């Protein structure tokens, strides 16, 4: 670190450039150069200086990445040059046909830029004199929406470009959500009783189209830049040269991109990327191939809405057709009833699929799904398979309507659907299915992390009436566990040790483990931070809860009713 400056203006400038550097290393290069605590310390110092010196505030400061005020609606944005689409090819023959046309136009001697095709949302970033002015969606290619307020919260989108840059730089890329974050967001949505997103692409697009930027800021979105629109100066004569340049400006590009030559190399690259697909942290659905030299691109030009110098070579769809044999209804921890499709097993992209999520009743109605229907199931990476559509042309008339239960499939108590909610719920607190899910949640890795207490054990412990509530876990003895089927002394001992070890957890994990409706991991953390001890949380009134960041009326009501329930 350089020497501290004493003048606020100098210190502010210095802090900004240090924070930008660390942020670039972390989010763009994936090479952290500072601990989170040290970063926060610098960040807070800058924040304090800016608050004390309003004149020094700047919309491009690193402190301004957290998301400003909500807006009413997005305004339209006309792209200076249209954002084109790609023509798709699906096999080596079609790919070869494309290459043949390239060869006809530019001769045998050409290089190709190859990179994955990201399954996200297309975006254009407009920088004027190195500063981010606008971020716009593709829209119809000519006119998109100005979503700057959301895009500026993305950590890998620099607000200021680095080094010498042309006055006008329009960069194009894809905004994506990591599979890991997609799972986390959907888990949170479920704990909050909201319908989950169907796939990471929808989650990314949904986040970018939120009017409140603080939501996008929390989603952990990222970007891969893959091209440019208008540049006020020429900076390269090839796509590979251009990508190298934009990388030096601090923009994030994809590390799997390569310059290659010839059809054999394309096939090899395609196979390699397809093999790596499931291990990647993000979704892709093919590769993109572009003629590398701009002179070659100009030679080919465009046809209608897509260039002749580029193609998308798509992976085989991870889709299959099969019959819907039944729909079963599962009861979750909060009592939400989830319909699950029971399918005639079908191989989708090398994995046998026999179950698929149907989310909720609205989804069934939207699909107009009936038992006996032939359906399209789609699998995306490690995301839960989904029923995509109904093949209505295959209907025989013998299909049966799906009747949503009015009684809980576990305890037979009545089910209700509350105003404004997507989910049906069983409200019986003693419902065995809810109990079992609540205990599984309590023991889960991200909650109390009781290693070895799997689903089968929980079910047996409940069945044998050895536990009725998760607190009973702490009364269990080795002799109790030995009463369960197929449990030896060693595993009994191990489980007791694991339960014992879980007594020592952070308050945040414990609050999360309680399974209070609408209290996900994040809210649990904020509650722990605010109250500090369990005692203080237990004594909290609704008004006290309102003082906790991000806790509003519904969450506070849910917490209070949980805490006041003697059974808890
Ligand atoms: S290059 C002339 N490269 O696919 C078009 N596009 O149908 C230049 N996409 O909406 C696009 N990954 O946003 C390019 N590596 C990649 C891509 C990519 C995804 C999207 C793009 C566009 C669509 C084209």
| pLDDT, tens only, 41-50 | 999 999 999 9
In this structure, which long-range contacts are made by residues 433-438, counting pairs with CB atoms below 8 Å and at least 24 apart in sequence?
433/330, 433/331, 433/408, 433/409, 434/331, 434/332, 434/333, 434/334, 434/335, 434/410, 435/462, 435/468, 435/469, 436/462, 437/331, 437/332, 437/333, 438/333, 438/470, 438/515
Name the percent of the chain lying above pLDDT 70: 97
**Model-level pTM greater than 0.75?**
no
> Average pLDDT, stretch 531-540?
92
Name the percent of the chain lying above pLDDT 90: 62
Q: Does ligand 1 come within 6 angstroms of the Cβ of 239?
A: no
Q: Tell me: the pLDDT tens digits for 394-413? A: 999 999 999 999 999 999 99
Phi, psi of 141 (to 5 degrees): 100, -30
Q: Is residue 1 predicted with pLDDT exceeding 70?
A: no
Confidence of residue 381 (pLDDT cuts 50, 70, 90): low
The pLDDT of residue 142 is 93
For ligand 1, pick from 84, 86, 286, 303 the residue to mutate: most ligand atoms within 8 Å of CB.
Answer: 86
Whose CA is closest to 413, among 404, 403, 421, 405?
A: 405
Place of tokens 């110092």: 45
> Average pLDDT, stretch 178-182?
89
- Would you list the DSSP string of 353-369? EEEEE--SHHHHHHHT-
The pLDDT of residue 439 is 92
Q: Is residue 472 predicted with pLDDT exceeding 70?
A: yes
Confidence of residue 196 (pLDDT cuts 50, 70, 90): confident
Confidence of residue 307 (pLDDT cuts 50, 70, 90): very high
The pLDDT of residue 198 is 72
The pLDDT of residue 5 is 60
User: Cβ neighbours of residue 493 under 8 Å, at least 6 residues apart?
Assistant: 478
The H or E element containing residue 228 is strand 221-231
Cβ atoms of 135 and 157 closer than 8 Å: yes
> Average pLDDT, stretch 466-495?
86
Whole-angstrom distance, CA of residue 337 vs CA of residue 185: 19
Which ligand 1 atom minimizes the distance to the CA of 172? 13
User: Cβ neighbours of residue 397 under 8 Å, at least 6 residues apart?
Assistant: none
Cβ atoms of 139 and 113 closer than 8 Å: no
Q: Tell me: the pLDDT tens digits for 50-104? A: 999 999 999 899 998 877 777 778 999 999 999 999 999 999 999 999 999 999 9
Q: Does ligand 1 come within 6 angstroms of the Cβ of 29?
A: no
* Residue nearest (by alpha carbon) to ligand 1 atom 21: 122
Whole-angstrom distance, CA of residue 403 vs CA of residue 179: 33
User: Cβ neighbours of residue 490 under 8 Å, at least 6 residues apart?
Assistant: none
* Residue nearest (by alpha carbon) to ligand 1 atom 3: 226
Q: State the distance from the centre of ligand 1 to the C-alpha of 103, rounded, in angstroms.
A: 22
Whole-angstrom distance, CA of residue 227 vs CA of residue 135: 14
Q: Tell me: the pLDDT tens digits for 405-460? A: 999 999 999 999 877 777 899 988 788 898 998 999 999 988 999 988 888 889 88
Q: Tell me: the pLDDT tens digits for 200-256? A: 888 899 899 888 888 888 888 999 999 999 999 999 999 999 999 999 999 999 999
* Residue nearest (by alpha carbon) to ligand 1 atom 2: 84
Q: Is residue 2 predicted with pLDDT exceeding 70?
A: no
For ligand 1, pick from 98, 120, 122 the residue to mutate: most ligand atoms within 8 Å of CB.
Answer: 122
Q: Does ligand 1 come within 6 angstroms of the Cβ of 441?
A: no
Task: Name the CA radius of gyration of the chain, rounded.
Answer: 27
Q: Does ligand 1 come within 6 angstroms of the Cβ of 119?
A: no
Cβ atoms of 185 and 218 closer than 8 Å: no
Mean pLDDT of the chain, nearest integer: 90
The angle formed by the CA atoms of residues 33, 35 and 36, to the nearest 5 degrees, is 125
Q: Does ligand 1 come within 6 angstroms of the Cβ of 86?
A: yes
> Average pLDDT, stretch 128-132?
96
Confidence of residue 553 (pLDDT cuts 50, 70, 90): confident
> Average pLDDT, stretch 297-322?
91
Q: State the distance from the centre of ligand 1 to the C-alpha of 391, rounded, in angstroms.
A: 30
The pLDDT of residue 382 is 56
Whole-angstrom distance, CA of residue 523 vs CA of residue 548: 9
* Residue nearest (by alpha carbon) to ligand 1 atom 16: 117
Phi, psi of 539 (to 5 degrees): -85, -5
Write down the catalytic residue from 117, 252, 370, 378: 117
- Would you list the DSSP string of 93-148? HHHHHHHHHHHHHH-S---EEEEEEE-SEEEEEEEETTEEEEEEE-TTSSEEEB-H
Phi, psi of 224 (to 5 degrees): -120, 120
Phi, psi of 155 (to 5 degrees): -60, -35
Residue 191: other Cβ atoms inside 10 A: 24
Q: State the distance from the centre of ligand 1 to the C-alpha of 440, rounded, in angstroms.
A: 42
Which ligand 1 atom minimizes the distance to the CA of 123? 13
Q: Does ligand 1 come within 6 angstroms of the Cβ of 171?
A: no
Q: Is 117 a catalytic residue?
A: yes
User: Cβ neighbours of residue 213 under 8 Å, at least 6 residues apart?
Assistant: 67, 68, 69, 70, 149, 150, 152, 153
């Amino acid at each position: 670190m350089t020497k501290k400056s004493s003048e606020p203006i100098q210190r502010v400038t210095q802090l900004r450039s240090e924070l930008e550097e660390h942020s670039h290393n972390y989010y763009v290069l994936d090479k952290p150069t500072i601990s989170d605590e040290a970063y926060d310390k610098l960040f807070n110092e800058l924040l304090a200086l800016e608050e004390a010196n309003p004149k020094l505030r700047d919309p491009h400061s690193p402190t301004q990445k957290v998301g400003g005020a909500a807006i009413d609606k997005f305004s339209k944005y006309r792209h200076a040059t249209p954002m084109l689409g790609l023509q798709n090819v699906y096999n080596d023959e079609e790919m070869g046909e494309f290459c043949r046309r390239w060869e006809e136009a530019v001769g045998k001697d050409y290089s190709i830029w190859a990179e994955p095709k990201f399954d996200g949302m297309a975006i254009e970033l407009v920088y004027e004199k190195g500063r981010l002015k606008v971020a716009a969606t593709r829209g119809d290619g000519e006119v998109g929406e100005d979503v700057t307020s959301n895009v500026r919260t993305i950590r890998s989108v620099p607000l200021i470009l680095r080094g010498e840059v042309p006055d006008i730089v329009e960069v194009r890329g894809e905004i994506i959500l990591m599979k890991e974050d997609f799972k986390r967001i959907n888990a949170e949505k479920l704990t909050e009783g909201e319908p989950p997103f169907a796939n990471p692409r929808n989650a990314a697009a949904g986040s970018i189209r939120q009017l409140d930027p603080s939501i996008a800021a929390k989603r952990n979105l990222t970007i891969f830049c893959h091209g440019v629109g208008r540049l006020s100066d020429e900076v390269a004569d090839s796509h590979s040269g251009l990508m190298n340049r934009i990388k030096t400006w601090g923009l994030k590009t994809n590390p799997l991109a390569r310059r290659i030559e010839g059809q054999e190399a394309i096939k090899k690259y395609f196979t390699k990327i397809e093999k790596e697909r499931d291990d990647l942290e993000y979704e892709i659905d093919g590769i993109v191939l572009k003629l590398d030299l701009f002179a070659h691109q100009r030679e080919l030009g465009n046809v209608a809405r897509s260039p002749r110098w580029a193609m998308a070579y798509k992976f085989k769809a991870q889709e299959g057709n099969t019959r819907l044999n039944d729909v079963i209804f599962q009861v979750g921890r909060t009592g939400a009833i989830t319909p699950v499709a029971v399918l005639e097993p079908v191989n989708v992209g090398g994995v046998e699929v026999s179950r698929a999520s149907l989310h909720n009743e609205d989804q069934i109605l939207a699909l107009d799904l009936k038992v006996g229907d032939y359906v399209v199931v789609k699998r995306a990476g490690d995301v839960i398979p989904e029923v995509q559509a109904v093949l209505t042309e295959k209907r025989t008339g013998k299909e049966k309507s799906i009747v949503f239960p009015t009684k809980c499939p576990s305890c037979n108590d009545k089910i209700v659907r509350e105003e404004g909610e997507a989910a049906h719920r069983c409200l019986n607190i003693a419902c065995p299915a809810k109990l079992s899910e609540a205990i599984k949640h309590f023991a889960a890795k991200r909650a109390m992390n009781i290693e070895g207490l799997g689903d089968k054990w929980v079910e047996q412990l409940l069945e044998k009436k050895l536990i009725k509530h998760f607190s009973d876990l702490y009364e269990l003895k080795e002799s109790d566990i030995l009463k369960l089927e197929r449990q030896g002394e060693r595993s009994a001992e191990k489980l007791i040790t694991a339960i014992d070890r879980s007594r020592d957890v952070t308050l945040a994990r414990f609050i999360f483990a309680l399974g209070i409706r609408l209290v996900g991991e994040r809210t649990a953390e904020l509650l722990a931070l605010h109250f500090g001890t369990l005692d203080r949380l237990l004594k909290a009134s609704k008004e006290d809860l309102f003082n906790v960041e991000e806790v509003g009326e519904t969450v506070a009501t849910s917490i209070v009713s949980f805490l006041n329930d003697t059974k808890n």
